[in-house]
Every structure is written in C-alpha cells, then in structure tokens.
Amino acid sequence: MHYGHFDDQNREYVIETPETPLPWINYLGSEAYFGLISNTAGGYSFYKDARLRRLTRYRYNNSPLDMGGRYLYLRDNASGKYWSPSWMPTRTKLDKYECRHGQGYTIITSKVNGIKSSTRYFVPLGESLEIWQTTLTNESGSDSDLSLFSAIEFCLWDANDDATNFQRNYSIGQVEIVDGVIYHKTEYRERRDHFAYFACSEKLDGYDTQRESFLGNYKGWDQPQVVESGSSLNSEAHGWQPIGSHHIKVQLKAGEQKQIVFILGYQENPKDDKFDPPASQSINKKRVKPLIEKYLQTENADKAFNTLRNHWTMLLEKFQVSTPDTDTNRMVNIWNVYQCMVTFNMSRSASYFESGIGRGMGFRDSNQDLLGFVHMIPERARERILDISATQLKNGGAFHQYQPLTKRGNNDVGSGFNDDPAWLVLGVAAYIKESGDWSILDEQVQYENEEGTESPLYEHLQRSIQYTLDRLGPNNLPLIGRADWNDCLNLNCFSDTPGQSFQTTTNKDGTVAESVFIAGLFVLACKEMAGIAQHRNDKAQVDQVENASAEMEKTVWTAGWDGEWFRRAYDNFGHVLGSKENAEGSIFIEPQGMCIMAGLGVENGNAVKALDSVAEHLATPHGIVLQQPAFSQYYLHLGEISSYPPGYKENAGIFCHTNPWIMISEAMVGRGEKAFDYYKRINPSAREGISEQHKCEPYVYAQMIAGKDAPTHGEAKNSWLSGTAAWNYTAITQYILGIRPTFNGLKIDPAVPADWDGFTIKRKYRNVTYLINVTNPKHVSKGVESVTVNGKQIKGSMIRAEDGSGEVTVEVVMG
C-alpha cells in the first residue's frame, strides 16, 4: 500500500495522508542548527547537539504519537471553527493534505473549507535559524476573517535535565517579549550566553509564552483555550513551561493570498556583551535584529530557499546515474546520498527512534558514515576525521562516542570496543581515495584531546593497527573487548542485574573471548594501511602490516573457518560461536561479509561457499538476517544479543547495515545478479508498495527490518540514522555499478544483472567530471573488456586521476 509517491523531478517524496503508519520524518539544517520534522510538523530543533543545546521540546513514546512540534492553528473567526493545517495536533479532517519532504526542507499544504495553507520549513545555509513561510489562500469564494496562531514549546536547553529535573526547572523559565519577538532566555542571567528567539513578519494581535495560559489547565495541544476563544492572553512565563505563540488576524477577501513568515533562531553573545543596557538583565539583541529583519522579508526567505536548493543540486550532481532500474536511480541520485548527509551530521544521535539524549557521535559510526559522504564535501570529511582522531586514546583505542558540542570523548560509555580503532584506518583511506589529499596524514592531532600529545595522523593509524596486535587471544584472533561491530555481542559482560548497561558492564577480564569479525576487519585495515604506507615510501610499515595481515589470515583459516562459512567468535570459555557446533547462533552474517571484503576466500573458493551458506541460512525476501538460529533465551555469556526477542535487532533481525557487506562480497566474486538482488530486497523505494508492512519511510533506509523469527517479519524500525546509508551507497556505487575511487584513480569494475544493456554515470572526482557510458553487449554480470578514455583505449580498467578540471568521456564495454 502507498501513502504517497516519489516526485523524482523535484527530488521530493510526497506524502498524501497525514496518517502514515509511523511519523515519516525529514531533517532541517546541515551545518550547526538542526531540526527533525515529521509529515504532520512534529519534531524539534537544536543547535549542534540534541542533548546539550535543545531549543524546543518533544516527547518520545507519546500518545498520540508524534506530539509536539512546529505547530500552527487556523481559526475561522466567524464560526469559531479551528484546525491545524499540518493535521496535528487538532487532527481535524482536512479537505486536502500533502507533505513534500525534500533535501533540508519540508512543505505541508492543506485545505479546509476553502482556506488553503502551505508552510515551507527550512534552515538557510550558514544561519542558525529556521524559517516557516506560510502562504494562506482564500479559495472559499467568500471573504473570510481568520486568526493564525503559532505554537512551540521551549526546551530548557539540556534535554535530559529538562525532562527530569523538575524541582529546579519549574522555577527557572524566563522570556522577554519585545517588538513582537518572543525571546527565550532561561539561564541566560547566569552562565549561558545563548538564547532563542521566535519572530513573526506581522503585527501581532497577541501572544502567549506560558503554556498553561495558552492551553488552559489540563487541556492538550489539540484544543488550546486561546485558540478556542480566539484571543491571546499575552501571558509572560515565569518558570513552569515557557512557550512561544503569536496571534495574527488575517482578513482575506475571496481569492486573496497572503504570506506570513516566522523565524525560530538561536544566538550566542560574547560574555561581556550579553546585556543591553550593560547593567540590565535584558538580552542584547543587536546581533539578531538584522537577521530577524532580513529573513522576515519574503524575498529574502525565498532567496535563501533557492540557495539551499541550488546547494543540493550541486551536491547531488557529483554522482548521477541512469540505470534500467528506477529504485536504484532515485536512491543513488537523491535519497541515499541525502541520508548519507544526515547520518554524517547526526551520527546516531537524533531521530524518531533516537532521543538525542543517549548517544553522541559514535567513533566507528562516524568513520563509516564518511564512506557515503566524502565525495560530497571532502573538506568537511577532513575536519571530521581530525575531530574523531583527536579523541583517540594513547594506546590506539577509542572512546566509543563523543559529544558533538564539546568534541570530547564520552566518559560514561568509555572505550574497549575492540573494533573501533580499525575503522579510523578505513575512514582515512576513503578520504584519501576520494580527495587525493595525502597531506592529512601529516596533520598534528592530539590524543584524548590533551594538549602536548600531538602526533601526525599517520601515527594515529599506526597505533590503531597496533591496538589489535597488542590484544590477541588464545587462538591468536583479536580479543573482542566489550563488543565489536555488534554492540550487543557482549562476551565479557555476564550481567544478571536488570537495567545494567550491557555496553559498560564487564565482569570478565577479557583475555579469552575473541572475534573473527575483528580479524577480517584487521586484514582489511592492513590492506588500506599498506596502500597508505606505500605512498609514503615507508617500507618498514608496509612489511609490518603485510606480515601481520598474512598471519591473521592464516589464523582465520585455522580458527575462524567452519568448513562452509566463517565462524563468529570464541566466548569467555573458549567455546566457538557461529559454528555448526552451536545449536543457536550457528551462522552469523558479519564475518562472512567482513572476511570476504578483506579478500579472504576470494581466490580459494571459500568466499563463494560462505556466500552460498548466507543464501541458504540467512537470506529472506525482506533482506538477510544477522544470524541463525535466533537465540530463544537469554544467555549470560552472550549478553545483549540474546536479550532481544527472536527476530528483532541484533538477535536475528535484518540488520540492514550488514547486508551491503554481502552485496559487496557477491560483487567481488563476480555474482552481479545476487549482489543486485540483495540490494533490491532492502532498497526502501523498492519496498514502497508494502509500506503498511514496512512502516518506516520509503525514502530512507532503516537500521532494522524484523527477521523471519519475528511475528512482524518485514516491519522496519530505527529509520534514518544507520550505517546502512553509507554502506549501501558504497555497495551500489562502488561495487555493483563499480565506479570505485582508489588511491590512484577511478577503478571501473561493475557487477550487475546480466540482462542490463548498460548504464551511464556522471561522476565528479578530484575536480574532473567523468561522463561514463557502460555497455553490456554480451550480457555478462561482471568483467570489463575495454575502457576508452576521451577516445583512447587504456590498459586495464583503472582511470588514473587527472589534474585540472573539465569533462572526460569514458566508454566502458563489459564482457
């Protein structure tokens, strides 16, 4: 069943009913000021950090779902009838409804009794504010007398404290209302140098800033007493719950149209210039006044919107493909890459499923997010790499997470996830392959953000590699620590206390449990490191990683190979996991994908064997599950993985992040058909027709689709923020379509369904635009017969990076 449709021309998803199976959300902002917005205008805003600098409130696990957002109310003053043009929160029946989600903006349009309203929400590039542009059109045939009310609820900045520390919070809320602008300034009198402001382009007929005055005691957002009565109370918040609501009366003649603009913004002032007059307690507004004046003018708001649209055109132009498959085209050209931007910005912090309070930026997550982002804005990828590596521990390890506002490692979660450091090598390699910027390796970067500890980034990578070598277990496989990629495989945890964190509890000394997955990852990281060291003529380093990786490969074949697939791990008792010997959890997806991506078994046939085992035991029509058989009970020695009911999350859910590893592996062994088949199974656009079952947005990947052991098999959850975005982008663009950046240039290596006649790609790479035309006259699924660059056939299929700008045409014949 469809709840909307793709408008590929406009690069939008058009939602046709407010009653989607779940709120279908979008993101506003791409630099510092961000927001989540649902198809009914639910969601919230924050500056840089959803936990520490939250502007507006939002209540998760609420009923009705998705309550709290950027709300408007329209009231027909003649009849007293009122409604929400975004449907929520009044849920009045709308005669027409449409929500268009685009890249960094959302437009919600509706009509009631001939009054059409359309609101465009977006964040202008370079600004810390959001604009709501509301256009009202009277299509009723007669004159109307309307009231428009805006409504947001301010958060007292620290989202966690805001939701818990009521004995304090109910007394500290403060606002100022000056010239119709509502300023939220809780804690500004003391240590905060920042405030929020909510402005409107029209002369106000009233305002409210105290929630209970606006709503009425014990009343909800669906029937605020101020909207019901049609007159604001001009309330001023002193403590309790500060809100922002403007009231504008609008007389619209039949056929008349009017645009009203709102701005919600965030501003910091220098410590010594906070107040105006200086001895007072009132906010110095000199920095925001020009912004308010500027963006409340429709032409300026329009201009900012066009700039944002053009910015996205420029970003998306960097990789455009035309294949015989529409789902592929729209995901690669628009939505997948957009999701990569969002995951780059957000990591796993703020979504409909992530409260923004729990997790900051993940070390491994951010490194992987780079894979799908780096071609868009390499400079920002560079900055991110330097930020991440500055949190690295001196022993080469990593803080598992860090806070985006402070850029410091998060001590609450700490370190000891033994796969973390290796991802840094992969992230840096991806950056260099894309940009050709080798100078990043010489950047001086701190450890643990400590002054005086600086060393070149290159040394950080060396320490990452060394970290694994310093932690080998009884079989010479890498020790797993608290967990590896699978945060829930906690082999040293042994927690029997309810509520204890599986991630931070360690009851065993960690000297026995080992990970085959990390072994594969290590081999892959060593390959990248060898390429990097080679370029620096660091022969000793090349030898070291090549030897270490050869050793590790040997170990995998002796201790990590089960005969038909790669094993997963050894537990704290030295027993194998992910083997025929195990009644439950006998085969896992992760080591198959990671070991094959590292090249293991590609030559000797074992990769194909492992992939056939994946197809036999793990593949479902909705994607490939994480392991089989699912764990039917809680196992103390396995940890969180067995805490989930069978079929969900890490306990045999379709953990979409891992599926592209299998696609890549299938492409590597030459089976383009299978690679593409797996790609389509989880491609959200291809699943649009089963939206009532899939439930999440059809335009972005979800972290998980319930596996075959779950009663809700096929139902997706945790959409938007997932490594799935970057890895699927990598799988489809670099391995299936096969346009792959390497240290020296672009490798052309497609693995596609044999019935494809070909496809074309426009790829901007190191300032050169490659116009690539791939034909497949012999209908093979892998293999390149010839590559012709600007009319000249080259040797092999590697196009060496060329300097300068300009267009290069490339003719590729498969065969």
CB-based burial of residue 656 (10 Å sphere; 0-12 exposed, 13-18 middle, 19+ buried)? buried
Q: Build a one-symbol-per-residue string for 503-542: x at contacts with ligand BGC by CB under 6 A, - elsewhere.
A: x---------------------------------------
Encoded amino acid at 661, one letter: W
| Bridge partners (DSSP) listed for residue 293 | none
What is the DSSP secondary-structure string of 289-323? HHHHHHHTSHHHHHHHHHHHHHHHHHHHTTEEEE-
What is the DSSP secondary-structure string of 445-503? E-STT-TT--EEHHHHHHHHHHHHHT-B-TTSSBB-BT-SSSTT--TTT---STT--TT
Nearer to ligand BGC, 147 or 401 (CB): 401
Residues in binding contact with ligand NOJ, number by CB under 6 A: 9
468's contact among ligand NOJ, ligand BGC, none, with CB below 5 to 8 A by partner kind, is: none
CA angle, 141 then 145 then 146, to 5°? 105
Q: Does residue number 398 form part of the binding site for ligand NOJ (CB under 6 A)?
A: no
Q: Does residue number 650 form part of the binding site for ligand NOJ (CB under 6 A)?
A: yes
- In angstroms, give the least distance from the CB of 538 to ligand BGC: 35
Instruction: Provide Rg for the chain, Cα atoms.
Output: 28
- In angstroms, give the least distance from the CB of 651 to ligand NOJ: 11
Q: Does residue number 98 form part of the binding site for ligand BGC (CB under 6 A)?
A: no
Q: Does residue number 399 form part of the binding site for ligand NOJ (CB under 6 A)?
A: no
Q: Quick one: tokens of 588?
A: 């896992």
Q: Quick one: tokens of 343?
A: 């995951």
646's contact among ligand NOJ, ligand BGC, none, with CB below 5 to 8 A by partner kind, is: none
697's contact among ligand BGC, ligand NOJ, none, with CB below 5 to 8 A by partner kind, is: none
How many whole angstroms separate alpha carbon 567 and alpha carbon 578? 5
What is the DSSP secondary-structure string of 173-210? -BEEEETTEEEE-TTTTTT--EEEEEEESS--SEEEEE
Q: Is 487 a catalytic residue?
A: yes
Q: Does residue number 348 form part of the binding site for ligand NOJ (CB under 6 A)?
A: yes
688's contact among ligand BGC, ligand NOJ, none, with CB below 5 to 8 A by partner kind, is: none
Q: How many CB atoms lie within 10 A of CB 268?
A: 13
Nearer to ligand BGC, 440 or 488 (CB): 488
365's contact among ligand BGC, ligand NOJ, none, with CB below 5 to 8 A by partner kind, is: ligand NOJ
What is the DSSP secondary-structure string of 30-65? SSSEEEEEETTSB--EEES-TTTSEEE--BTT-SSS
Catalytic residue chosen out of the listed positions 76, 365, 487, 749? 487
- In angstroms, give the least distance from the CB of 657 to ligand NOJ: 6
Nearer to ligand BGC, 487 or 749 (CB): 487
Scanning 239-247, 269-277, 357-365, 706-714 for contacts with ligand NOJ by CB under 6 A, the matching segment is 357-365
486's contact among ligand BGC, ligand NOJ, none, with CB below 5 to 8 A by partner kind, is: ligand NOJ
Q: What is the H or E stretch that residue 519 is in?
A: helix 516-535
Scanning 222-230, 360-368, 436-444, 761-769 for contacts with ligand NOJ by CB under 6 A, the matching segment is 360-368
How many whole angstroms separate alpha carbon 597 and alpha carbon 590? 11
Q: Does residue number 651 form part of the binding site for ligand NOJ (CB under 6 A)?
A: no
Q: What is the H or E stretch that residue 130 is in?
A: strand 129-138
Q: Quick one: tokens of 345?
A: 């910005």
Scanning 359-367, 629-637, 734-742, 793-801 for contacts with ligand NOJ by CB under 6 A, the matching segment is 359-367
Task: Look up tokens 């027409």; give the residue.
Answer: 96
Q: Which of 49, 162, 176, 487 binds ligand BGC (CB under 6 A)?
A: 487
503's contact among ligand NOJ, ligand BGC, none, with CB below 5 to 8 A by partner kind, is: ligand BGC
Residues in binding contact with ligand BGC, number by CB under 6 A: 5
- Interface with ligand BGC in residues 609-668 (CB under 6 A): 649-650
The residues near 121 (Cβ < 8 Å, ≥ 6 apart) are 28, 35, 37, 41, 70, 105, 106, 107, 108, 130, 131, 132
Encoded amino acid at 714, one letter: G
Chain-centre distance for alpha carbon 154? 25
362's contact among ligand BGC, ligand NOJ, none, with CB below 5 to 8 A by partner kind, is: ligand NOJ
How many whole angstroms separate alpha carbon 519 and alpha carbon 504? 23
Nearer to ligand NOJ, 116 or 400 (CB): 400
Residue whose CB is nearest to ligand BGC in the complex, by number: 487
Nearer to ligand NOJ, 362 or 714 (CB): 362
- Interface with ligand NOJ in residues 472-501 (CB under 6 A): 485-488
Q: Does residue number 364 form part of the binding site for ligand NOJ (CB under 6 A)?
A: yes
Q: Which of 365, 528, 571, 688 binds ligand NOJ (CB under 6 A)?
A: 365
Q: Are 719 and 741 in contact (CB under 8 A)?
A: no
Going by their DSSP bridges, the two strands 4-7 and 514-515 should be labelled as unpaired
Q: Does residue number 640 form part of the binding site for ligand NOJ (CB under 6 A)?
A: no
Q: Which of 159, 488, 667, 784 binds ligand BGC (CB under 6 A)?
A: 488
Give the three-class secondary structure for 781.
coil
Q: Which residues bind ligand NOJ (CB under 6 A)?
A: 348, 362, 364-365, 485-488, 650
Name the residues annotated as catalytic: 487
Q: Which residues bind ligand BGC (CB under 6 A)?
A: 487-488, 503, 649-650
